[in-house]
Structure formats: structure tokens, C-alpha cells
Amino acid sequence: MRGEVHSINVSDGGVPKSMVESADIMNSGVEGDFNRFRSNNGGDADRAVCIFSLELIQRLKNEGHPIEIGSTGENLTIRGVDWDSLSEGARLEIGDVVLELSEPCAPCSKIGGSFIGRRFDRVDHDQEYGWSRWLARVLREGRVSVGDSVNIVITPDQ
């Protein structure tokens, strides 16, 4: 399965995250991005990168949600990947980088402004399977640019 990087998003804290054309992705996270999970001594490497689907963002907008690219805190917005097929342990090769999905990203109130009635649970993996953002650990560091291909290199048994 192949997709493409639609947007790379970073912030010095909070949401929305702003788009950049390219960024280095290191074990500690995305260059230029602050994440509270990584703020102390490198933080949680399993949460280095947050990924979301452009197609899901568009579907949420069609439902009337005021969501925008980067407004839910994702670092990489990708398109062309069958989101339902993703699971923990799947590896994504993006540009020079290899990421491994570690867990669905639990939503929090900070992204409430992206949803009608602040119902951020709309993207809660346990309540709305297949709609969650994904967190990933970095297996190979490198540079990612908008337009890079996204290749699913390992999809574990579900």
C-alpha cells in the first residue's frame, strides 16, 4: 500500500500546528515541534510522531466539524493509505524515515475546537474504530518532505 505526505505540521506548543515543507524526524520527534510527552529527558519514544489521514480530515469536515490540517496535533498528514488496515506494529517508510505504529492516539480536550460541540471523542479509537490518529516510534531517523511517498513495509497480523 502506498500513500503520500500531504503535510508536515509543527508547533512550539499546542494546536493548531503549522505546515512546513520538510523536517528532520529523530528518535525524539519532529524537528521544530514541541510535544509535552517528550519534554523531559527525551520523553516517550513510542509517541515521537503523530500521524493522521487527509481523507479522514475531509470526511470529518463533510460532517460539519471545523477540523483543519494540523488542528488535531498531527505531525504528518498523509493521503492514500487505507486507514482501517493500520494496526500496532505496522511500519511506514516515508522518505528516509522508518516509523513503527505504537498505538492509536487518545484524543484530549486540547483538540476540542476541531469538533462540533468539542466532541473530540469523535476520533477515539475505542469509540470510533478506524478514526484515530496514530502515534509512532522512529526506527530510522531522516528527513521527510511534502510529497514523499508513504510505503507500508510491514503490516502485522490483526
Residue with cell 515521537: 48
Q: What does the pLDDT profile of the chain (158 residues) look like in tens digits?
A: 789 999 999 999 899 999 999 999 999 999 999 876 554 444 589 999 999 999 999 999 999 999 999 999 999 999 999 999 899 999 999 988 999 999 999 999 999 999 999 999 999 999 999 999 999 999 999 999 999 999 998 766 64
Q: How far apart are CA 80 and CA 95, in angstroms?
A: 15
Beta strands in the chain (DSSP E): 2-10, 18-20, 22-26, 29-30, 49-53, 76-79, 91-94, 97-105, 133-140, 142-145, 149-154
Question: Any idea what the CATH number is for the domain that residue 103 is in?
Answer: 2.40.33.20
Give the pTM: 0.93
Domain count, the chain: 1
Q: How far apart are CA 88 and CA 103, in angstroms?
A: 6
Task: State which residues form the domain around 128.
Answer: 2-154
Cell of 111: 483538540
